[in-house]
Structure 1
Amino acid sequence: MKTHLAAALGSVVLTAGTLLGAPAAGAQTAPYPTTGFDITLGASSLRGTLTWYNRSVGAEGTLRAVGCYGASFSAYGASGRELSAWNTGTKCDGTYPFNVGLPADAPGGAAYVKVCLDDVRANSGTCGRFYRP
């Protein structure tokens, strides 16, 4: 009888401890906001996602170059001041993945990111401005 009582009591204590230690449903943090981008210049393209963190912006995607192209990313604060920049360098005839973090160490982080796809041979390009959601 003592064995059954001890086992039952142990089970109740274990179950209560598990339930009390579990996080509340909905207490999970929300994912960081994201913005998709798609810039096309001729047959070449720059596609991906910007992830907006508190003091940085992640840029992940692919550069598809038909000929020689480069991609650049610049993060700007609310005042319009450039906070950081990064570029792929010249890439020719292929698909190139990238995954980079742009520091945005300013109150509120980056307000927007300027994303450019440049045809390095023709000295031309196209850019898009993508705002924090």
Structure 2
Amino acid sequence: MQTRLITALSATVITASALLTSPAAAEEAQAVSVSFRVANGNTWTDGTITFYNRSVTVTGTHKSVSNASLATYRNTGAYTLNSERHQISSGVSSLNDEARGSTEAFTFSVGADVPGGAAVVRICLDDGYYEDLTCDLYGRPS
């Protein structure tokens, strides 16, 4: 009976240890966030960048004051950079989340598939052509 109990306990400890050291668990354990705000005139994007080991998630809202043309629409773009400020990857908010004379919420992820993930993220307020209007850099918090 004791042998079975010890075997069962050992299996449980091994399983729990594997779950705690799985990539997903390690990814979550390293998550840190920073707030951002990028403005251009009376339009803006603001929200939170969450840094993970191999990606970032950008969540927030962007505002457009006119729906007159693509030039007045607003989107949010993000570029992940390594510690030497070389670009790793990029992403942009969905067309469905585009602000057209409104304020719209968005969430998107950008890869950073290098050891330790992104060191810096460049957030840009974009127009409806997805051209960067104004950008700011945000470093990974310690």
Q: Same fold (TM over 0.5)?
A: yes
What is the aligned partner in structure 2 of residue 86 from structure 1?
91
What is the aligned partner in structure 2 of residue 130 from structure 1?
138
Q: Which has the larger radius of gyration?
A: 1
TM-score (norm 2): 0.64
Residue 81 of structure 2 is aligned with which of 76, 83, 88? 76
Question: What's the offset of the Cα at 1:119?
Answer: 4.3
The one-letter code sitting in structure 2 at the alignment partner of 1:114 is: R
Q: C-alpha deviations, 1:13-38, integer Å up to 9, x for none?
A: xxxxxxxxxxxxxxxx8672110001
Aligned residues: CA RMSD: 3.0
Give the structure with the higher percent helix.
Answer: 2
- CA 1:64 to 1:102, structure 2 compared with 1: closer, same or farther past 3 Å? same
What is the aligned partner in structure 2 of residue 117 from structure 1?
125
The answer as to 2:134 corresponding to 1:103 is: no
SS in structure 1 of the partner of residue 47 of structure 2: strand
Give the structure with the higher percent strand.
Answer: 1
Runs (4+) of structure 1 exceeding 6 A deviation are: none
Counterparts of 2:86 and 2:30 in 1: how far apart (Å)?
27
TM-score (norm 1): 0.68
What is the number of residues matched between the two proteins?
A: 109
Question: What's the offset of the Cα at 1:116?
Answer: 0.8
- CA 1:106 to 1:116, structure 2 compared with 1: closer, same or farther past 3 Å? same
